Amino acid sequence: MPASPIRKLTPFADQAKKDGKKVYHLNIGQPDIETPQGMLDAIKGISFKVWAYTPSEGTFSYREKLTQYYNHIGYKITPKNIIVTTGGSEAITIAMMACLDPGDEVIIPEPFYANYNGFACQTGITVTPILSVIDNGFALPPIAKFEKLITSKTKAILICSPNNPTGYLYSEEELEALKSLVLKYDLYLFADEAYREFCYDGRKFTSPMHLDGLDENVIILDTVSKRYSACGARLGCIITKNENVIATALKFAQARLSPGLVEQIAGEAAVDTPTSYFETVNKEYTNRRDTIVKALNKMDGVFCPNPGGAFYVVAQLPIDNADKFCQWMLESFSYHNETVMMAPATGFYSTAGKGLNEVRLAYVLNIPEIEKAMVCLEAGLKAYPGKA
């Protein structure tokens, strides 16, 4: 079971804090944006006498409310197309177990969300990585390269758009190309859409759900964590129009009994969050992105593409080893008694040796703190003994 590159350096950060250092946490996608008040008020207003189980697929009232949200963005579903999960993580693991057998293969463009490796390990699935590169901002690799990786064991392709860790936003043209491949080989197309709301510069979000002819193939994996800055709610869902997948996924959902009642009450209220909330958040993240990308690209030997969505960047640094560097920043370095915690990009690749000179940074802090963190990082790069 692989360790999380996002969390594995936590003991070093904890020690740095004990030593009196201020640590800027750019390692994890925990937004500092306030959770919508409607969600919090719904929790405060709870009046049930018994904190009971919910249906394994989630309460009908929550799934009905979710249907309103998804149909507003053109998914054309009903409550029966949704299974509520304990976070997006459970959505991914249940989808993997429902659609693939142990030993089956899923193709994933890398770098990818590090825990995909962990989920595959848990479920006995084999990850087949396909490399996207920083030079073109981590665009989708050519479909011909995908096709070369398909074997008799290949059952699915997994994408995340906007992407974690790169922030890349797949275009409609890229998804249409994937559609052709998926239909040709009758594969599942898993789409992790945790960052759907975070698209910048007027760019359009396209989901596989928007494409015709994929109803039996598409499995949407979603969560309230990022959309409503409610990571602690642990509330996600699987969406598909494939009735066999829903029926099988429900068996796994029944085995773990049910998703939380309180979380679903809050989730219902979340759907009524006004559009103004997302407009404000989107503007804030755009400014943070511009701040961090500009600062990184001003540093000697650093390259950082400008992402189209999510709230992460992957930056290439003039270092020998990202794991060593990120640990060194916490363990051995400080600038005015401050340091920066980042996620080494090696953990976002499945191919050994990739990402050695890359880090992922989450721009989840306010702009003044991002600016201070970048000053600190630049000083750290100048002082680091393991320069490339």
- Picking from 196, 240, 202, 236, the residue whose alpha carbon sits closest to that of residue 73 is 196
Query: What is the architecture of the domain spanning 37-270?
Result: 3-Layer(aba) Sandwich (3.40)
**Identity of the residue numbered 385:** P
Q: What is the pLDDT of residue 110?
A: 97
Identify the pLDDT of residue 159. 98
Query: What is the rounded radius of gyration, in angstroms, for the C-alpha atoms of the chain?
Result: 21
β-strands 188-192, 218-223 pairing: parallel
Residue for token pair 């249906």:
55
Residues 6 or more apart whose Cβ sits within 8 Å of residue 335: 375, 376, 379, 380
Q: Which CATH superfamily is domain 10-34+276-383 in?
A: Aspartate Aminotransferase, domain 1 (3.90.1150.10)
Q: Is the pLDDT of residue 379 over 80?
A: yes
How far apart CA 83 and CA 25 sit, in angstroms, is 33
Q: What is the pLDDT of residue 256?
A: 96
Encode pLDDT of 277-332 as tens digits: 999 999 999 999 999 999 999 999 999 999 999 999 999 999 999 999 999 999 99
12, two tokens:
């070093």
Work out the average pLDDT over 215-236: 97
pTM for this predicted structure: 0.95
Residue 4's pLDDT is: 79
What does the block give as tokens for 319? 């270092």
Alpha-carbon distance values, 195 to 46, 163, 265, 345, 379 (Å): 29, 8, 22, 19, 32
The pLDDT confidence band at residue 7, using thresholds 50, 70 and 90, is confident
User: Does 253 score more than 90 pLDDT?
Assistant: yes
Average of pLDDT values for 144-157? 97
Q: Which positions ≥6 away from 379 have C-beta within 8 Å?
A: 335
The percent of residues above 90 in pLDDT, for the chain, comes to 95
Q: What are the boundaries of each domain within the chain?
A: 10-34+276-383, 37-270
Burial class (CB in 10 A: 0-12, 13-18, 19+), 347: buried
